[in-house]
Structure 1
């Protein structure tokens, strides 16, 4: 019986060397292992789009080019498509070993020296990496998303936020917003847990409509939501509360017959380039603002 080919995506820089790499790794020698197809793609958002929209069994990520761009794709891939294993290609020597170790810590399942890779070796790497990753996923089953709202959970939020905090000095800054659903306990007590869940789902939709598609949005606790606004200017914090209030008003107008009233508070903390606060400290600070209702939206 023929083995189904492994669909591998090679994410690498757009250069003659990269194109030569793609050609040299094309499957050529028959093997008892599953055959594979190798599709090269640039080090950009197209790679993540392909991971989301097409069948991909395995990712080869080239770390020998711009490291920050490659690590950003790795982090986002681990959060957005955690079921797809990633093997990184590194340069020989201490630097390559160091980059490979950092990538594995960030979620890659293996690292291979790029110059030593051949078509035959790649077939083995793909096969055993997938098998090892599937076993690990079966045993681990750690999710990065909240099953009720479909947003990131606290683990997913921290994974992305810690990465972006390291790169904050290269941007105009970040903003962390913590939103709290008001009176959730009262909704649960008066109308039941299902009503409370509907309130949380409604709040998640309002928050999605408030923030940008590029922002990282999560449910981090029972009634707590967090958003990391990327590349945020000083004016960013000024528009969040009015926009959230407007989205809440739209929701209430569309659900006039609801027995409970959806309300929220929000606290915001700006992370300027050069700040060194940790994610837990920033979440606590923004949460304290929300708890004090210094920015009350409804």
Structure 2
């Protein structure tokens, strides 16, 4: 039977495993022994042995059988439980968002393939490669991992109601401050060396071309313009496109400035021409407006 929320009993069991779950998340995708888990969690071997059955329930059964080691399972049910537990029960979203475990789960979802298929009409795969989509995901996960929440409610409050009632609402409430200004601390300038910086700037150029290409497609089919004939229609189309381009350039230039500042901080060379949109990527000739 499908179950999206954890019961109080399940949450109580996971509470006892919190420190072990954090260690397993930190070590993923490297399997570890029970002894290593005890050392990393600063507990005795007997303490781990007492909850071994619970640990086995959230670990990869094949790794356990063949290597006698513990590795978190990538099963969707286990992932959902861990995500829900850390995100809402313990209010520690960064624990699961910043590590390799979530990256591994996300990779198995084949997001690039799904975007290419679902955004075929926007020519997504003509502009973006899988490495570009991976960078988008990296940026999203990185910024989500920086989420700060209010002090978690007392666990006794949670026990008064099931998680799908008051308990869940209390935890959702803890994330409300994020919604007040969700873009205030977003950092898209993620790079460690010149190669990664250039990839990011190439992605910037692709985003610009992608938006402008599809803006023209949308505007050409816009009902308002459909009712205008002749040269007047072309004049209106050009005016609307100029307005779109103005704002797109404005925000992209702000992003470029952040990249330049971070490059200076990291002592990575940032050439003058890097500021020019289109320096690393221009519209492909086979991407036609239809």
TM-score normalised by the chain length of structure 1: 0.31
Determine which structure has the larger strand proportion and give its number: 1
Which structure has the greater CA radius of gyration? 2
Kindly indicate which of the two structures has a greater share of residues assigned to helix: 2
| TM-score, normalised relative to structure 2 | 0.31
